[in-house]
């Protein structure tokens, strides 16, 4: 996996920018570095009503975000991006989950059952719950 150097980092637009600002401070968190030191996973977060998606990459104790346009739909294919998990919902649902003080599996499952969230590779997506507890 390729790790972006500080000089190569881009300013992300839209949803990818929000995700980047939320997760990249974890690179300074020692608990995160230890807990995820042997983890390699890519989770695609797609705000389907926005213009951009965010590919969240955890690579052996480092985390970064890659932003890409989510149209045409083929831009987000698993074969093209190599993601392990997909979480797709409207931007308002993502913000509701992210702004919550306590992200719980029950809240997420409720939204899945009502069709407000689409998940592929649920085991890999559940890693997000661990991230936001740090």
Percentage of the chain beyond pLDDT 90 is: 40
56 vs 43: CA distance, rounded Å? 5
**Is this prediction's pTM over 0.75?**
yes
Among candidate residues 11, 13, 2, the one with its CA nearest the CA of residue 69: 13
Among candidate residues 60, 130, 123, 37, the one with its CA nearest the CA of residue 87: 123
Contacts of 11 (CB under 8 A, 6+ apart): 17
* pLDDT band at 98; cut points 50, 70, 90: low
Q: Please report the domains of the chain, with CATH numbers, ordered by start residue.
A: 6-131 (3.30.1050.10)
The residue among 69 and 99 whose pLDDT is bigger is 69
pLDDT at 111: 75
Is the per-residue pLDDT at 5 higher than 60? no
Q: How many beta carbons lie within 10 A of that of residue 125, not counting itself?
A: 22
Mean pLDDT value across residues 9-25: 81
Percentage of the chain beyond pLDDT 70 is: 84
Which range, of 33-47, 80-94, 119-133, averages the lowest pLDDT? Answer: 119-133
The residue among 44 and 102 whose pLDDT is bigger is 44
């Amino acid at each position: 996996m390729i790790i972006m150097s500080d000089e190569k980092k881009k300013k992300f637009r839209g949803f990818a920018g929000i995700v980047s600002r939320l997760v990249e401070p974890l690179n300074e968190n020692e608990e995160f570095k230890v807990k995820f030191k042997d983890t390699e996973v890519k989770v695609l977060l797609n705000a389907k009503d926005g213009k951009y998606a965010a590919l969240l990459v955890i690579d052996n104790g480092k985390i970064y975000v890659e932003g890409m346009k989510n149209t045409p739909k083929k831009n987000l294919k698993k074969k093209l991006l190599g993601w392990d998990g997909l979480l797709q919902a409207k931007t308002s649902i993502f913000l509701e989950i992210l702004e919550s003080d306590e992200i719980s599996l029950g809240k997420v499952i409720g939204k899945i059952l009502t069709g407000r969230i689409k998940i592929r590779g649920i085991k890999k997506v559940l890693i997000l719950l661990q991230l936001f507890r740090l």
